[in-house]
Amino acid sequence: MRNVSTTSDFTFLQRKLYNTLTQFAQQRPDTEMVHDIPIKLVEEHVGHTTSNSRDHLKKVLKGMTQVQVEFDYKGESPGRKSGWGVANLIAEAYILDDNQTIRYSFPAELKRRLLDPTIFNLIDLRMQYHFTSYSALSLHELVSRYYGFSQKETFREHWTAWSVLLSGSATPHEEFRDFNKMLGRAVDQVNSIEGRFKIEVVMTKNNRKYDKLWFKLEPLMQPELGLSPAPEIVGAEVSKRLKALSLSAKDIEELGMSHDEEYLLAQADYTEAQMKKKDSVASPAAYFKAAVTNNYAKAPSKQKPAVSTDAPAPAPKPPKTVKKPAAATQTAPANQMNVLLEQWGAAQRTTIRDEINAQSPEELQLLLAKYEPQLKKDDLAYKQYKSKGLSPMVLNCLVAIIFEDRFKEAPTSDQLLQFLLSANAGV
């Protein structure tokens, strides 16, 4: 049997919530078409706190009504028919007036399939507490259905197909090495949690390129006792990595609610690589947030890139010289506006940098003392400031702080026009 897949992106939280709603429906009478589940029960199984913010829960449920699930069922015995179908993940969802109950229903035919244990893989929802990434949870659900089978191995498929299945993205990783990083972490997490068996990855090559991939299950001699850890939104590894980039606990929690861990790790890898390049990152925390928003790492993403109308998105590397702004064209006005905003921002940062470099030692000390509280928020930059003074990283961070303090709002159209005219006049 092949996995049930979605035709669009599916987040880690949505998958855990869907497992919870499905199992609850499976425990209800077959004739019950609409189900009421307590939000408290949802929180217990999903492991994410939603009591403080129903808005986030509404967003997740709304997203689930817009996702389609595709069945590609392959019969596993001679003479058994195969089937295909597509349906909305859930038909409807409501938060009732008591603000403590979710009312939902499945499309009729999909519900019939979900109640058929030969088609839908039943899982222990307590296991969801252990997993901190979509890829690990998906891999566990996939391989666990083969536990006890005589073949003790999963179906074989090209690695790009596994990339889509395990990442939850509608598109695979661009490079095998990036997929392999995610796969290795998922396998390690499954093997560290699952007490009945261990899994091993098997790969084949075609013309020296990785091709088919599948998993073998090795039963353990003595199954381990299950534990009941406290639910966590972000795993210890990811939390440690993001704290090293000077992100606050609140920032990490909010990012963990909106993005899968593998996506965050990919952006952390990219940010750390850029930090090794001289003068390329003024503020690791700000750069990482920009990387998450704009997917600098080009990782499989379940989120649509956010479009900000308040301020330009930070460029990967701030330019040191101001170039003549390109004339706007009618072919891509939105893109031209973004370019103009970035050029305007680069010009302002260059001006601020020149102002700092022109100050006397006494004036510079006063300036640093004024903005020291903001510098402390960036651990890496602040440590360099205390040990090396105004290093290139500290200077870049200071420029970013002054820029945010000086320009709290995006420039008006008149300001951009004046900038464009003055830049052209100076050429």
Q: What is the DSSP string of 97-144?
A: TTSSEEEEE--HHHHHHHT-TTTS----GGGGGT--SHHHHHHHHHHH
Q: What is the pLDDT of residue 52?
A: 52
pLDDT tens for the 427 residues of the chain, in order: 344 444 445 677 777 888 888 888 888 888 889 999 998 888 877 765 444 567 778 888 888 887 776 665 544 444 445 567 778 888 999 999 888 899 999 988 878 777 665 545 445 555 665 677 888 888 988 888 787 777 788 888 999 999 988 887 778 898 999 999 999 999 998 998 888 889 999 999 999 899 999 999 988 865 444 444 444 556 677 888 888 888 887 788 778 777 778 888 888 888 888 887 755 676 788 888 888 888 888 887 654 443 333 444 444 444 444 444 444 444 444 446 666 776 777 788 888 888 998 888 888 889 888 988 888 877 767 887 888 888 877 887 788 888 888 887 777 877 777 777 776 665 4
Total Cβ atoms within 10 A of residue 145: 15
Does this model's pTM top 0.85? My answer is no
Q: What is the pLDDT of residue 36?
A: 95
Quote the distance between the C-alpha of residue 132 and its chain's center: 12
Q: What is the pLDDT of residue 211?
A: 93
Q: Which tens digit of pLDDT belongs to each residue from 345-403? A: 778 888 888 899 888 888 888 988 898 888 887 776 788 788 888 887 788 778 888 88
238 dihedral zone (left: phi>0; alpha: psi -120 to 50; beta): alpha
Residues 333, 326 contacting (CB under 8 angstroms): no
Q: Which two tokens mark 330?
A: 């009618």
Q: What is the pLDDT of residue 83?
A: 65
Q: What is the pLDDT of residue 160?
A: 93
Q: How far apart are CA 8 and CA 148, in angstroms?
A: 32
Q: What is the pLDDT of residue 327?
A: 44
- Closest alpha carbon to 210 in 186, 188, 178: 178
Q: Which tens digit of pLDDT belongs to each residue from 46-74? A: 765 444 567 778 888 888 887 776 665 54
Total Cβ atoms within 10 A of residue 11: 22
Give whole-number Cα distances, 356 to 104, 283, 352, 388, in Å: 59, 17, 6, 17
Helix (H) or strand (E) segment spanning residue 92: strand 92-95
Total Cβ atoms within 10 A of residue 199: 23
Residues 6+ apart with CB under 8 A from 395: 353, 356
Using DSSP's 3-state secondary structure scheme, residue 158 falls into: strand
Name the one residue in this structure whose structure tokens are 């939104």. Answer: 233
Using DSSP's 3-state secondary structure scheme, residue 213 falls into: strand
Q: Which two tokens mark 396?
A: 């870049």
- At residue 273, φ and ψ (nearest 5 deg) are -65, -40
Using DSSP's 3-state secondary structure scheme, residue 402 falls into: helix
Q: What is the pLDDT of residue 319?
A: 43
Residues 158, 213 contacting (CB under 8 angstroms): yes
Q: How far apart are CA 378 and CA 394, in angstroms?
A: 10
